[in-house]
Amino acid sequence: MAFHSADLVGSMIDLRSDTVTRPTQGMRAAMAKAPLGDDVFRDDPSVLALEACAAELLGKQAALYVPTGTMANQIALRIHCRHGDELVAHRRCHIFNYETGAAAALAGVQIRTIDSDDGSITPAALAAQLRISEDTHVANTALVAFENTHNACGGKVLDQALVEASVAVAKGQGVPVHLDGARLANAAAASGRSLQQLAEPFDTISLCLSKGLGAPVGSVLAGDEGRIKTALRYRKMYGGGMRQAGVIAAAGLYALEHHLERMVDDHHRALRLAEALSQIPGLSVDQPDTNLLYFEVPTDHRLSDEAIQQAMLERGVAIHGGGRRFRAALHLDVDDDDLAVAIEAFRAVL
C-alpha cells in the first residue's frame, strides 16, 4: 500500500523502514558547520573525512561516498565483472530482487542464485554453482555476493564462520567476493563483532549510512585503493558525482561517530515487539536477530493486507507488507513510548 507524505505527519510512528529516520539535532548541527569543497574535484574535506573514517572502521585501504546503496552495489559489480559474466548470490538478496535489474542493464551481468531460509550460502552450495571454465557455452563466475544482515530473510545476521568458509571456496577458485553490508552496522551490534571483523573476508563492501545509522542519505563502498580508484570513475559514469556533498557527508560521519553503539536499542525493541505480537492469536512471528521484525497473518484474517495497513495508519502507526507478510523496522526515531503505542495499535487491529 502506498502512503503519502500528508499521511505521515505529527506524531506518526513510522515502522515501514529504518530509512525513514530524520537527522538528529547533533547531526543537523554537524551538517550546518561542515567544511565544504567540490567532491568531483575530490577536495571536499567533509567527504574525505567520511571516507577515511569508513575505510578505517571497515579495515580497508579506501572508501568512496555514493548517493545510494544500490549505486554502491552496482559499482562493485562493474569493478569485478565484464559484460557476459556471472554473479552468484542468494536468491532473496537485494542485488537480485530490488535493484531494478541493474546487474543486467548496467553491468551486463547475469545472476545465478542459491537459496536458504536464513540468507546463508554454504561452501557446498557455492562450490556447486561456481563456473570457472574455458567452455564457451557457459558464463564464467566473476563475483560472489553476500548480504549481511539479510533483509528478506528477516534481518538475519550471517554466521561469520560459515561466511569465511564459503569465501574461502570462492577465493580458492580465484573469484572475488562482495558484501552488500547495507545493514552491516546492525550485524556488528548484534554479533558483538567489529565492522572490520565482519568485513575482513571481502574484497569490496557497501555500507549504508541512511538506514539504522540514521543519516539522511548516502552509502560508502570500501576496498583496496585500486578498486576504489576504479569505483570513482564508475560513480561519475552512473551520475553519482556530487559537488558540495560535504553537507550530507557530515551527517554520515556523525552517524559513524555517534550511532553505532545505540543500534542495540533498536534490536531490544524489536524483541519486545516480537514478544507482544506472539501473544496475538493466529500470528506467526519471526524471532528477530536485529531491528527488522517480520510476521504473518492468517490467510483467513478478517482484514485484507491493505485494510490492516490502513487501520494501523488510523491509529498512528505505518507498517509495510503484502501477501499476508508484514515488516516492522525499529530505528532511532522510535522510542519506548512509541513502541508502547505501536503495540496497542497492533493488538487493536490484529
Cell (9 digits) for 6: 500528508
pLDDT on residue 3: 47
Contact 250, 217 (CB under 8 A): no
Question: What does the radius of gyration of the chain's CA atoms come to, in whole angstroms?
Answer: 20
Fold of 34-258: Aspartate Aminotransferase; domain 2 (3.40.640)
Q: Residue 10: what pLDDT?
A: 54
Name the nearest CA neighbour of 78 among 52, 60, 48, 99.
Answer: 99
State residue 135's pLDDT score: 85
Region label for 13, one of left (φ > 0), alpha (ψ between -120 and 50) or beta (otherwise): beta
The pLDDT score that the predictor gives to residue 6 is 46
Q: Does domain 5-22+262-349 have CATH number 3.30.200.20?
A: no
Query: Rounded distance, CA 92 to CA 102, Å?
Result: 16
Q: Could you give the angle at which helices 336-349 and 305-314 cross, rounded to 10 degrees?
A: 130
- Can you list the residues of the chain whose pLDDT is less than 70? 1-10
CATH 3.90.1150.10 residue ranges of the chain are 5-22+262-349
Domain(s) labelled CATH 3.40.640.10 in the chain stretch across 34-258
Beta bridge partners of 207: 181, 220
pLDDT of res. 178:
98
Residue 133 confidence (pLDDT): 84
